[in-house]
Chain A
Amino acid sequence: MATEILMPALSPTMEEGTLAKWLVKEGDTITSGMILAEIETDKATMEFEAVDEGVMGKFIVAEGSEGVKVNSPIAVLLEEGEDASAVPAAQAAAVEEAAPAGSSDGSAPAPASVPAAPIESKAVEPDVPEGTEFKQQTVREALRDAMAEEMRNDETVYLMGEEVAEYQGAYKVSQGLLDEFGAKRVIDTPITEHGFAGIAVGASFGGLRPIVEFMTFNFAMQAIDQIINSAAKTLYMSGGQMGAPMVFRGPNGAAARVGAQHSQDYAAWYSHIPGLKVVQPYSAMDAKGLLKTAIRDPNPVIFLENEILYGQSFDVPVLDDFTIPFGKARIWREGSDVTIISFGIGMKYALEAADKLAEEGISAEVLDLRTLRPIDYGAIIASVQKTNRVVTVEEGFPVASMGNHISAYIMTHAFDYLDAPVLNCTGKDVLMPYAANLEKHALTSTAEVIDAVKQVTYR
């Protein structure tokens, strides 16, 4: 019986991909383990291996086709002796739908992935001069550019971490940096987080400005002692003589279906520590401007990225030297009924909720903190004075969360302006489950934000 070969998912975040190249021909005998095709995912070009044996009957999707959905049939495998006429009509019909994207001579390779729809920035207080030109960039590209620009500017800036050089970054954030800056400044480490974090702290004492990439912040727990006890505390303990001008960066928080040990949001953890600065950008523009500021800052900076945001595109200003100061929130959307305060990927829920609430006639102001240490208390209080109601949104655990801190601050400093208790939308008070249905419930959501807003506005 003919079996369909389906477009495979080749990464935790892949929903569609490009069938770059067939490596077998129709009529070829297929054995398990044989490489059938090259498929471009959101991160890389991957080889797709056969599992079942048989004869390649018919390609349903031609090479060069972009945007092929995961799980859609791409070819039909026949059993030995069977002929291609066994291919059911419905399968043959699918051929027309997936037309190849590039020219048929294969000259123009398709881009690695189709960028997600751009997100409009409605910043009320612009970070750039009027008339600045913008270009579309993913968060991933913006981070890479920020590092490259700072490395060009300052010889003492270097990058170290696992797979940052030859592999081009586990999440491809450091793509191209080894080529440009060489192995002296883009350094692959063994898997030894506590050791290389400590070496970077020492290097910063010794006059360098290290950027340490943690493959994810989950693994930074191996290095937590060097980050806290050495990097954060030395300036104070030395009476201001020496400190650790360095950046610890990498993806933080839940990715997709990677379970409890790989899905924690550390925003509140690091924000707890005097001596650290903590940044958690949402947009590509902020990622770029804030990472440049972080690299120049004379203190240890924790720079929390997000795997799911890496592939998202935003407007980024085309400027020679664009930085964003720490401690300055960004108002993404002005509103009068309620303030939604968030940062990092929490902004996704905040902005979606604000859009939906607007349809129901509730005007939400959306504040992106961008940096958690220092935090823009002024912007928070100003917005509370205007709307009198607040909902905070973050992915981390609820106990001792950023939202708890912000609520307490507002209670202390703007109690008389509040018309309702501040509500915190957070991850649930549970560890991250693997099962798809449970994972969804463990995270906060747009629906929860909308619900919280309705509670504080008594609708």
Chain B
Amino acid sequence: MAAKKSAKPNVSKDELLYHYREMLLIRRFEEKAGQLYGMGLIGGFCHLYIGQEAVVVGLEAAAEEGDKRVTSYRDHGHMLACGMDPKGIMAELTGREGGFSKGKGGSMHMFSKEKHFYGGHGIVAAQVPIGAGLAFADKYLGNDRVTFAYFGDGAANQGQVYETYNMAELWDLPVIFVIENNQYAMGTSVKRSTKSPSLWERGAAYGIPGEEVDGMDVLKVKAAGEKAIAHCRAGKGPYILEVMTYRYRGHSMSDPAKYRTRDEVQKMRDERDPIESVRQMLLTGKHASEEDLKSIDKEIKAIVNEAAEFSKESPEPALEELWTDIYAEA
């Protein structure tokens, strides 16, 4: 996947269709995951990405093969967008042998070496220094690669983020810090957790440039991603993107979400939905008909249903798996 590189000024039909498909896949996948959770097939914590699809889809469209990514527990969208197989993701959610971590990691802890996806981390902000470390390795080894380190607005207050900023700039590490500002950390709105007017500007204290990006607009996200990548690949060190987005669902499946009004959520869905806006672009630009889009919807639904079926049919891991993967063979 991640077959972009056609950064033409005029957005092509193919590109719009690509974004539409990718975002829709995430949305439908997450809806299905929510349903399977409700049926007790997925357990524990399950954090859905619905509403934030444009962030990863835009940035992945700007990325090149070999670039790396690392994120938090809210990771299903990132995995789908970097091309990991929906079947393996869903089967990990149901804790089955066919999952990316053989059922041992679950929703929050998934990895794919092949797709350069370094997790899926359950501890808020722990992925930020890890992302800088991946970039450190690339620089050390002379790889011309960049790393996307995704984290939330809540994570942005953790001390290790600032320790990392300092070293990343000090050593010119090719890492893009992507703050997915969905405006809430669990039940705490950004305004209740900081008096900083913006999160990306904090980078200035360490000499890291950055910008705010409209995260409900996949094209703007992609353009910002291209700029940040160019900065990193030119050897100029890290870059910060504060992507303004919104999660439609509760923090996790068990969040009653009493800290915001139903109207606030509905307004976002009605007015800013990232998928709907691409859909409108496709229709008004006569790139696709309602019929075309319906058939894409159908295709995506089939992919998701297939993943769900696989995730139910894949057996539970063998009991011996309890004892494997504690240590690597020396």
Contacts and interface: CB of A to CB of B under 8 A. Distances in A.
B22 to A, nearest CB: 19
A258 interface: yes
A260 interface: yes
B140 interface: no
16 contacts: A6-B39, A8-B38, A9-B253, A10-B38, A11-B254, A12-B43, A12-B254, A33-B31, A163-B187, A195-B159, A260-B105, A430-B326, A434-B103, A435-B316, A437-B316, A441-B322
A163 B189 CA distance: 11
Nearest to A7: B38
Given A191-B154, A258-B106, 9 more contacts: A11-B254, A43-B256, A190-B154, A190-B188, A194-B159, A258-B44, A258-B108, A259-B106, A437-B319
**Interface of chain B, main secondary structure:** loop
B188 A438 contact: no
A41 interface: yes
A70 interface: yes
B63 interface: no
A451 interface: no
Interface in A1-39: 6, 8-12, 14, 32-33, 35
A32 B31 contact: yes
Interface in A202-240: 218-219, 221-222
A296 interface: no
B272 interface: no
B105 A162 contact: no
B18 interface: no
Given A8-B38, A10-B38, A261-B121, A438 B322 contact: yes
Contact of B35 (A51, A190, A259, A435): A51
A428 interface: yes
Contact of A70 (B40, B108, B248, B317): B40
Interface in B144-195: 154-155, 157-159, 185-188, 192-194
Contacts of B37: 8-9
A218 B123 CA distance: 8
A262 interface: yes
Nearest to B103: A435
Contact of A49 (B34, B155, B157): B34
Contacts of A32: 31
Contact of A51 (B32, B107, B157, B258): B32
A216 to B, nearest CB: 10
Nearest to B31: A51
Contact of B194 (A6, A190, A222): A190
Interface string A253-268: 0011111111000000
A430 B38 CA distance: 29
Contacts of B43: 12, 256-257, 434, 436
A41 B316 CA distance: 27
Contacts of B248: 33
A434 B187 contact: no
A71 interface: yes
B103 A438 contact: yes
Interface of A: 6, 8-12, 14, 32-33, 35, 41, 43-49, 51, 70-71, 162-163, 166-167, 170, 188, 190-192, 194-195, 218-219, 221-222, 255-262, 428-431, 433-438, 441-442
A356 B256 CA distance: 40
Given A162-B186, A437-B319, A260 B109 contact: yes
A121 B160 CA distance: 46
B108 A261 contact: yes
Interface string B114-139: 00000001111100000000000000
A213 B309 CA distance: 41
Q: Which 5 A-B pairs have the closest CB atoms?
A: A8-B38, A434-B106, A257-B43, A257-B44, A261-B122
Contacts of B45: 12, 258, 262
A433 B187 contact: no
Choose among B101, B123, B249 the residue with the greatest number of A CB atoms under 10 Å from its CB: B123
B104 interface: yes
B124 A191 contact: yes
B188 A162 contact: yes
Given A166-B259, A256-B43, A436-B95, A9 B38 contact: yes
Contacts of B124: 191, 219
B96 interface: yes
Choose among B121, B122, B254, B262 the residue with the greatest number of A CB atoms under 10 Å from its CB: B254
Given A11-B253, A71-B39, A256 B44 contact: yes
A439 to B, nearest CB: 8
Given A44-B254, A434-B95, A166 B122 contact: no
Choose among A6, A44, A436 the residue with the greatest number of B CB atoms under 10 Å from its CB: A436
B269 interface: yes
B322 A259 contact: no
A70 B39 CA distance: 7
Given A259-B44, A259-B106, A192 B158 contact: yes
Nearest to A428: B322
B257 interface: yes
Nearest to A431: B326
Contacts of B256: 43-47
Interface string B279-321: 0000000000000000000000000000000000000110101
Contacts of A261: 108-109, 121-123
Interface in B38-90: 38-40, 43-45
A261 B39 CA distance: 24
A142 B68 CA distance: 48
Contacts of B105: 259-260, 434
A432 to B, nearest CB: 9
A336 B269 CA distance: 66
A435 B323 contact: no
A437 B158 contact: no
Choose among A14, A32, A170, A433 the residue with the greatest number of B CB atoms under 10 Å from its CB: A433
